């Protein structure tokens, strides 16, 4: 079976020391993996490599068994299979919820439909279905995203990701700025959407939220300290990762 | 989770039709290209394509003859000097007039508001008349003197600076002034202390922008014979000496880019707002630290004064010479019947269509071209070059060039104005696109979208309102500027005005100027409203 994401001896140079140093990782379909590590460990860099934003200086990288495509068209197709939930969400504030959800489809659509979507938002049915799946009211479709609450915005961002229909879900500390209740709800949704045939890789700064994950990675100073099934992650393992005190 | 009735959803879909989303707004003005593409073949006469090609080729081999070079450098020196003096004078006058027309200043210092309103109304007249007209009128009154161009730039610019200053001043929060006054501080000191630091960066940023405008205006005045490089540009173009023309143009381009670079550098160094915040609804960003920049600013001001004196001395600008009026020919009594017989509706209609066409073209083409070249590695640099050339060319010279292949008329005049203003707008769009919406564009790129769609959805969404608001301001500038393409003929009030000026038909001139001023004041009001609505969003 081909892995959804494969990293082999990835190295990303930094100013004083490498931001990633010999990182290996294999993510199979259906795996939901948490990435832990102290600040500056290289979690964001690893996710940026995984979604193609940063090209590694050394090492090999494969998405669904294929290396980075050469041609522009193939490259875009490859990117459209990788979905990222950004910490700042990166919603388009001036557009409606529906137009934002549809932004996930633009890669497949091309110009005429992309322009039409700005005039008359398209595929209302599919967008409403996504909202329902995320437990949001489809009446929100016409609202500008700037009018939504923080929790609703998180879900719309996730909805845009679902419209994109990616194989790999990436999220960089998506829970960092949320209150405990919202964080719990969003995590549950992410874990639910990260099931097979997809794979989920999510960076976290809270080791207390590991319950739903299958595997946990520990990153420290750009190096992979551990790659363990969730059950094997003990307090001792975490203490070793973060230094003496647990956050 | 509530269910939504079908009717409600249909209503939502309907609302989408009459309210296109933000990124589309930016592209809508470009629709004007469609009728234009239908009209253009009928307007071209095809005789001058080989001349146009010669002109283009000459760009690669400008004349390096020492005589030509020497005269171009001297001309450029005069143009830059006139721009610098006119700019400095307009800033000084504008500061005084701006304070004098601020409601806040009058209210705090004397408790009355009407003097501010009165001065503001009076300033509409000098502001609404283009510097070219001021120049030509002064030329008739006092003859060709270096001081004429300086004053011609200073009069409308001062009124513009005054308006922007008083608008910004009146838009600032007054709580701090009230706090100081409550503590017994006299009003002028309270105003200066409380509002000065917040106002200074905006005024300086605007001042830098005015200097760029002054250089363009000084070149333009030269085209109409008021001295400097512009005169040479026009003469070499009319005698089809393209190699010599390009000698002057390349030199002017170098100076223009150096000036813009310097202004941009100072703006960044002194953390001043960028130009998209220009206008009566400023983004108040007065939080910049004024320590280091304050000292540097004083130093710059101290260096500027001797520089200005030196420039005035070397250009032989004598303010006193403006007092010696030429003997005017005896003015005949106004011929009311002839005035009424002027084709007013056509004049006004042509002026307005010229303005709207030029504004729509300039506003619409900039984002369209940016989208077009986005995926190309050299696209950005190409556009920067094109837009620098657009700014470099005074509109009447573009018009003369267009006349080689197009018939005179509204469309040709509009094209000339559009190409020049495209240079200004395009640069602004490029600069501000780099500051806004980068994250949104990146997110779209990362999810497999092409660079053009990512730009359209990601960046243009955030840019739409401020860009179009600036476009509304630009349309106002274009209306005022439409007089300068009057020499292309049949282009409305502008050409009629230039005719009346050369015939010195004083009554016709006065009537036309009044009509023009009225039109620009109305246009200004309209563009202000549009801009406020766009920015209030």
**A-chain residues within 8 Å CB-CB of B16?**
119-121
**Continuous H helices in B272-409:** 291-314, 336-341, 344-373, 379-392, 395-402
SS3 A234: coil
Q: Which CA distances in Å does B94 have to A171, B87, B206, B230, B299?
A: 54, 10, 12, 26, 21
pLDDT for residue B15 is more than 70 = no
Average pLDDT over residues A226-236: 90
Instruction: Quote the minimal CA–CA distance from A100 to chain B in Å.
Output: 9
The beta-carbon neighbor of A103 closest among B1, B16, B444 is B444
Collect contacts of B320-323 with beta carbons under 8 A, ≥24 apart.
Answer: B321/B142, B321/B145, B321/B147, B322/B138, B322/B142, B322/B145, B322/B147, B322/B148, B322/B151
DSSP A135: T
Whether A119 has its CB under 8 Å from any CB of chain B: the answer is yes
Q: Which CA distances in Å does A35 have to A25, A150, A164, B123?
A: 11, 24, 23, 65
pLDDT tens profile B136-190: 888 888 888 888 999 999 999 999 999 888 888 887 777 777 777 777 777 778 7
Q: Which residue of B has its CA nearest to A139?
A: B4
The beta-carbon neighbor of A164 closest among B439, B445, B447 is B447
Q: Which of A221-235, B317-331, B484-498 has the highest mean pLDDT?
A: A221-235
Q: Do B457 and A78 touch (CB under 8 A)?
A: no
Looking at residue B143, its pLDDT comes to: 83
Q: Can you tell me the distance from the alpha carbon of A6 to that of A67, in angstroms, rounded to the nearest whole number?
A: 9
Whether A158 has its CB under 8 Å from any CB of chain B: the answer is no
Element (H, E) at A26: strand A20-27
Q: Which of residues 77-116 of A touch B (CB under 8 A)?
A: 77-84, 86, 88, 90-96, 99, 103-104, 106-107, 111, 114-115
Looking at residue A36, its pLDDT comes to: 92
pLDDT tens profile B266-278: 887 877 766 554 3
Structure tokens at B146: 């270096």
Q: Which of residues 11-70 of B touch A (CB under 8 A)?
A: 12-13, 15-17, 20-24
pLDDT tens profile A135-180: 899 999 999 998 898 889 989 999 999 998 899 999 998 888 778 8
Q: Do B453 and A111 touch (CB under 8 A)?
A: yes
Q: Which of residues 136-155 of A touch B (CB under 8 A)?
A: 136-139, 141-142
pLDDT tens profile B89-128: 999 999 999 989 888 888 878 878 888 888 988 888 898 8
Q: Which residue of B has its CA nearest to A169?
A: B447
- Least Cα distance to A106 among A133, A76, A64 occurs for A76
Q: Which residue of A has its CA nearest to B19?
A: A119
pLDDT for residue B218 is more than 70 = yes
Instruction: Quote the minimal CA–CA distance from A211 to chain B in Å.
Output: 28
Count CB-CB contacts under 10 A for residue A41: 24
pLDDT tens profile A33-65: 999 999 888 999 999 999 888 889 999 999 988
Looking at residue B500, its pLDDT comes to: 86
User: A–B: how many Cβ contacts below 8 A?
Assistant: 110
Whether A1 has its CB under 8 Å from any CB of chain B: the answer is no
pLDDT for residue B537 is more than 90 = no
What value does the mean pLDDT of chain B take?
83
**B-chain residues within 8 Å CB-CB of A107?**
447-450
Looking at residue B147, its pLDDT comes to: 87
Give the ipTM: 0.84
Q: Which of A35-44, B4-13, B478-487 has the lowest mean pLDDT?
A: B4-13
Instruction: Quote the minimal CA–CA distance from B523 to chain A in Å.
Output: 28
Q: Which CA distances in Å does B425 have to B359, B367, B369, B419?
A: 10, 9, 12, 10
The two counts, helices (H) then strands (E), for chain B are 24, 0
Return the residue in A106, A116, A124, A158 with the most chain B beta carbons within 10 A, the one to mutate for interface testing: A106
Helix axes B33-43, B410-433, angle to 10 degrees: 140
Count CB-CB contacts under 10 A for residue A167: 16
Residue bearing the bigger pLDDT, B373 or B535: B373
pLDDT for residue B210 is more than 60 = yes
Q: Do A166 and B1 touch (CB under 8 A)?
A: no
Looking at residue B10, its pLDDT comes to: 38
pLDDT tens profile A175-224: 887 788 888 888 998 998 888 889 999 998 888 888 889 999 999 999 99
- Least Cα distance to B456 among B351, B375, B339 occurs for B375
Count CB-CB contacts under 10 A for residue B351: 27
Looking at residue B275, its pLDDT comes to: 58
**Continuous H helices in B224-290:** 229-238, 242-269
Q: Which residue of A has its CA nearest to B2?
A: A137
pLDDT for residue B3 is more than 90 = no
The beta-carbon neighbor of A95 closest among B22, B439, B445 is B22
Q: Can you tell me the distance from the alpha carbon of A142 to that of A241, in angstroms, rounded to the nearest whole number?
A: 46
Under the banding of pLDDT at 50, 70 and 90, the label for residue A2 is: confident
Residue bearing the bigger pLDDT, B45 or B135: B135
Q: Can you tell me the distance from the alpha carbon of A80 to that of A75, in angstroms, rounded to the nearest whole number?
A: 9
Q: Which residue of A has its CA nearest to B441?
A: A90
Q: What is the pTM of this model?
A: 0.83
B423 touches B445 (CB < 8 A): no
The beta-carbon neighbor of A114 closest among B440, B446, B453 is B453
B325 touches B142 (CB < 8 A): yes
DSSP B120-133: HHHHHHHHHS-HHH
Residue bearing the bigger pLDDT, B105 or B2: B105
Q: Can you tell me the distance from the alpha carbon of A160 to that of B443, in angstroms, rounded to the nearest whole number?
A: 11
Q: Do A104 and B447 touch (CB under 8 A)?
A: yes
**Tokens 């161009």 sit on residue:** B149
**B-chain residues within 8 Å CB-CB of A86?**
439, 443
The beta-carbon neighbor of A141 closest among B1, B12, B23 is B12
Whether B463 has its CB under 8 Å from any CB of chain A: the answer is no
Average pLDDT over residues B379-403: 89
Q: Do B446 and A104 touch (CB under 8 A)?
A: no
């Amino acid at each position: 079976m081909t892995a959804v994401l494969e990293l082999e001896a990835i190295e990303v140079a930094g100013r004083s020391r490498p931001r990633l140093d010999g990182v290996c990782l294999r993510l199979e379909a259906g795996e939901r993996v948490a990435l832990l590590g102290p600040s500056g460990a290289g979690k964001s860099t690893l996710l940026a490599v995984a979604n193609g934003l940063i090209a590694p200086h050394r090492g090999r990288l494969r998405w669904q068994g294929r290396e980075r495509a050469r041609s522009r068209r193939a490259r875009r197709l490859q990117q459209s299979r990788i979905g990222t939930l950004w910490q700042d969400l990166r919603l388009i504030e001036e557009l409606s919820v529906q137009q934002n959800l549809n932004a996930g489809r633009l890669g497949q659509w091309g110009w005429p439909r992309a322009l039409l979507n700005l005039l008359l938002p398209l595929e209302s049915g599919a967008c409403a279905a996504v909202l329902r799946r995320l437990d949001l009211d489809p009446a929100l479709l016409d609202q500008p995203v700037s009018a939504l609450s923080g929790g609703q915005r998180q879900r719309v961002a996730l909805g845009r990701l679902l419209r994109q229909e990616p194989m790999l879900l990436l999220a960089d500390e998506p829970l960092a700025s949320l209150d405990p209740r919202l964080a719990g709800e969003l995590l549950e949704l992410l874990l639910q959407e990260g099931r097979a045939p997809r794979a989920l890789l999510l960076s976290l700064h809270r080791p207390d939220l590991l319950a739903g994950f299958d595997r946990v990675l520990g990153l420290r100073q750009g190096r992979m300290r551990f790659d363990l099934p969730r059950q094997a992650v003990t307090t001792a393992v975490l203490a070793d990762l973060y230094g003496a005190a647990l956050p | 989770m509530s269910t939504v009735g079908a009717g409600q959803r249909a209503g939502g879909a309907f609302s989408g039709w009459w309210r296109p989303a933000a990124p589309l707004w930016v592209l809508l003005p470009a629709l004007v290209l469609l009728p234009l593409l239908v009209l253009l073949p009928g307007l071209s006469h095809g005789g001058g394509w080989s001349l146009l090609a010669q002109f283009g080729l000459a760009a690669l081999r400008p004349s390096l003859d020492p005589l030509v070079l020497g005269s171009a450098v001297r001309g450029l020196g005069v143009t830059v000097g006139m721009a610098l003096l006119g700019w400095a004078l307009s800033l000084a006058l504008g500061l005084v007039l701006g304070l004098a027309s601020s409601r806040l200043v009058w209210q705090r210092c004397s408790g009355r508001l009407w003097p501010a309103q009165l001065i503001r109304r009076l300033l509409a007249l000098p502001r609404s008349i283009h510097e070219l007209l001021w120049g030509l009128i002064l030329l008739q009154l006092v003859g060709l003197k270096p001081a004429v161009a300086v004053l011609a730039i200073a009069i409308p610019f001062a009124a513009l600076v005054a308006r922007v200053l008083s608008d910004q001043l009146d838009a600032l929060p007054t709580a701090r002034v009230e706090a100081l006054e409550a503590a017994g501080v006299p009003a002028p000191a309270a105003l200066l202390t409380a509002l000065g630091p917040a106002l200074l960066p905006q005024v300086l940023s605007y001042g830098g922008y005015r200097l760029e405008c002054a250089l363009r205006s000084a070149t333009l005045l030269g085209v109409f014979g008021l001295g400097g490089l512009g005169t040479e540009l026009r003469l070499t173009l009319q005698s089809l000496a393209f190699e010599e023309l390009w000698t002057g143009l390349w030199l002017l381009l170098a100076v223009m880019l150096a000036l813009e670079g310097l202004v941009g550098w100072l703006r960044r160094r002194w953390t001043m707002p960028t130009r998209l915040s220009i206008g009566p609804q400023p983004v108040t960003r007065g939080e910049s630290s004024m320590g280091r920049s304050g000292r540097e600013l004083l130093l710059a001001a101290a260096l500027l004064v001797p520089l200005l004196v030196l420039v005035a001395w070397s250009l032989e600008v004598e303010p006193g010479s403006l007092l010696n009026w030429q003997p005017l020919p005896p003015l005949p009594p106004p011929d009311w019947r002839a005035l009424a017989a002027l084709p007013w509706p056509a004049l006004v209609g042509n002026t307005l269509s010229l303005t709207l066409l030029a504004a729509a073209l300039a506003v619409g083409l900039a984002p369209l071209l940016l989208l077009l070249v986005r995926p190309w590695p050299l696209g950005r640099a190409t556009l920067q070059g094109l837009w620098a050339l657009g700014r470099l060319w005074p509109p009447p010279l573009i018009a003369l060039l267009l006349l080689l292949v197009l018939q005179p008329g509204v469309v040709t005049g509009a094209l000339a104005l559009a190409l020049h203003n495209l240079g200004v707008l395009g640069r602004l769009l490029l600069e501000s696109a780099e500051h806004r919406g980068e994250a949104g564009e990146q997110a779209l790129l990362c999810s497999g979208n092409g660079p053009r769609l990512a730009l359209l959805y990601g960046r243009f969404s955030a840019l739409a309102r401020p860009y179009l608001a600036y476009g509304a301001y630009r349309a106002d500038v274009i209306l005022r500027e439409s007089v300068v393409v009057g020499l292309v003929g049949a282009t409305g009030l502008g050409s009629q005005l230039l005719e009346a000026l050369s015939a010195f038909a004083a009554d016709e001139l006065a009537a036309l100027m009044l009509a023009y001023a009225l039109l620009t004041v109305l246009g200004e009001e309209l563009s202000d409203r549009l801009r406020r609505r766009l920015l209030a969003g």
